[in-house]
Structure 1
């Protein structure tokens, strides 16, 4: 599986591509504006595109931005400093997707990010932050009172970033999604690095937890079997990873999961018997078990890596 489709909706708003040659087709606050360049563009051209956008709309009314290709994104860090510096003008910004690219624009493991902490510091009212790509990605533990939704999509998520997420104080966060990925692409996190997240002490409002695309899906499932955070969740998502019978059995043998609304395990390696038990033993839970995979020469693969 690859990410082959651009988002058409973000933060409850339709995604609209900004074209400096065309008048803005909708009010500034009625769209998630996609700012993106062609493959052979430069970071300087992206800065010019941003200025053209701010001149074409009322910046204070912009609620959501989707940042795609910013120019040589496989070797040029994300425009974090540029975006953070716009905070005095983008006073209404509530949602940001940084690095929303398909595989034919830039492979997920090639997307060059950076330290995203300045975005959280610059926008204390930000409610939704999605990041795609983890090369050079960094985060420092911060307190952010408004963030409700935080997702990092990666072919491999560094352990330091996972620990930093766990170290953040996010009292309003309802949805946390981390694509842990594989060690082939920098995903070196283990279950110990998830300890603060699984404890949930800094995430009192969390209702949806996704630990997706994980090479260590079985180990994650075993840790979730006793994790305090699980008791308050509505949705637990372990999809896109390598979950096998061992992980499924750990979930069934662990703490009760009957309070969940959804247990999402799509793209998995669970056998028919364990899959049937999950459905039968969780009759009031919507259990998603699509896309069963077969191990190849004893190896199991996550859905999104390169």
Structure 2
């Protein structure tokens, strides 16, 4: 699961993993102040079930002061659906009046590959927490062909940042995001992934995201980790949303000269503070043109090294950064 790690901080708060009930490791004698950290909860293979961890959390910490939650692994023997966890969190929503940030499924490859995570409908989270400002969801389509991520269109007045980290994000989730009304949204990142893991979103599915109409305050857009990165770049080159952005990311995918030239020859990008294209398949000539854009117009273009690829190979060997 390349490029995915446990966050050290979340919502500008350091992440602290709550000791499990009965854990005899040398944890701090006193727990941190509830509003000073992002609380990470997990159920390990040897430890108690997540429901017990949740009950322990509600008794060990004043939930009314908690500002950020990070949910780690939640299963025990076999990978299981996130649905019971979402039900626990939303059923106790009234006890978390200060909650502003939630990270669902902070799981790395050693624990479970991103495309094997058993996800669920996350719409209840947005409905239960109308003051939520940041939501991160890791996981999407399932390599087990079982529980996949779902979202239904909602209106949410407070959400400022929304990120989906996925090795394969179903098209219906992308369409649902585009149909949501999020007037406060400033940052949107969508990792689209591989068709092998239900990443079947099309450029047409992304049309509402590119129009800018539903998200008037959007300043950062990431359409990343896609097998159709060139098609996305062509669409972005004339997309109305670009004019309102401060930063744009088309990184982690299969971007080649076709998409790179479309960006360079499309609408002006000189107003951007940053343009992230890392993990790409651009030629040296096109990379040089992006470097000129950076030097001439003070746009920070994050390129990194190009991945090896033979454009004449009939079997397209390009790959996304995060798939399984």
Q: TM-score, normalised by structure 1?
A: 0.96
Cα RMSD, aligned residues only: 1.5
1:246 corresponds to which residue? 258
Structure 1: gaps spanning 5 or more residues = none
Residue 307 of structure 2 corresponds to residue 289 of structure 1 = no
| Compared CA separation, residues 256 and 156, structure 1 to 2 (3 A) | same
Deviation at 1:75, TM superposition (A): 3.0
Aligned residues: 304
Select which of 153, 160, 176 maps to 1:148: 160
Deviation at 1:292, TM superposition (A): 1.4
Residue 90 of structure 2 corresponds to residue 84 of structure 1 = yes
Aligned counterparts, 1:38-187, within 5 A: 38-39=44-45, 45-72=49-76, 74-78=79-83, 79-135=85-141, 136-187=148-199
Distance in 1 of aligned mates of 2:5 and 2:133? 24
1:13 corresponds to which residue? 13
Alignment check: 8 A CA contact 2:81 2:118 kept:
yes
| Compared CA separation, residues 39 and 272, structure 1 to 2 (3 A) | farther
Q: TM-score, normalised by structure 2?
A: 0.90
| Compared CA separation, residues 189 and 149, structure 1 to 2 (3 A) | same
Q: Deviations over 1:105-132 (max 9, x none)?
A: 1100011111111000000000000000
1:29 corresponds to which residue? 35
Structure 2: gaps spanning 5 or more residues = 142-147
Q: Deviations over 1:144-203 (max 9, x none)?
A: 000000000000100000000000000000000000001011000010000000001110
Question: Deviating runs (4+, > 6 A) in structure 1?
Answer: none
Alignment check: 8 A CA contact 1:3 1:102 kept:
no
Distance in 1 of aligned mates of 2:193 and 2:79? 18
Q: Deviations over 1:199-237 (max 9, x none)?
A: 011100000001111111000000001101000101100
Deviation at 1:91, TM superposition (A): 1.4
Select which of 220, 243, 255 maps to 1:231: 243
- Other structure's SS at 1:194 match: helix
Alignment check: 8 A CA contact 2:81 2:120 kept:
no
Distance in 2 of aligned mates of 1:264 and 1:204? 22
Deviates more, 1:121-130 or 1:33-42: 33-42
Alignment check: 8 A CA contact 1:40 1:71 kept:
no
Alignment check: 8 A CA contact 1:75 1:112 kept:
yes
Alignment check: 8 A CA contact 1:3 1:103 kept:
no
Distance in 2 of aligned mates of 1:173 and 1:256? 23
Deviation at 1:4, TM superposition (A): 5.4
- Other structure's SS at 1:196 match: helix
Distance in 1 of aligned mates of 2:62 and 2:82? 27
- Other structure's SS at 1:173 match: coil
Deviation at 1:295, TM superposition (A): 2.0
Alignment check: 8 A CA contact 2:132 2:159 kept:
yes
Distance in 1 of aligned mates of 2:4 and 2:110? 7
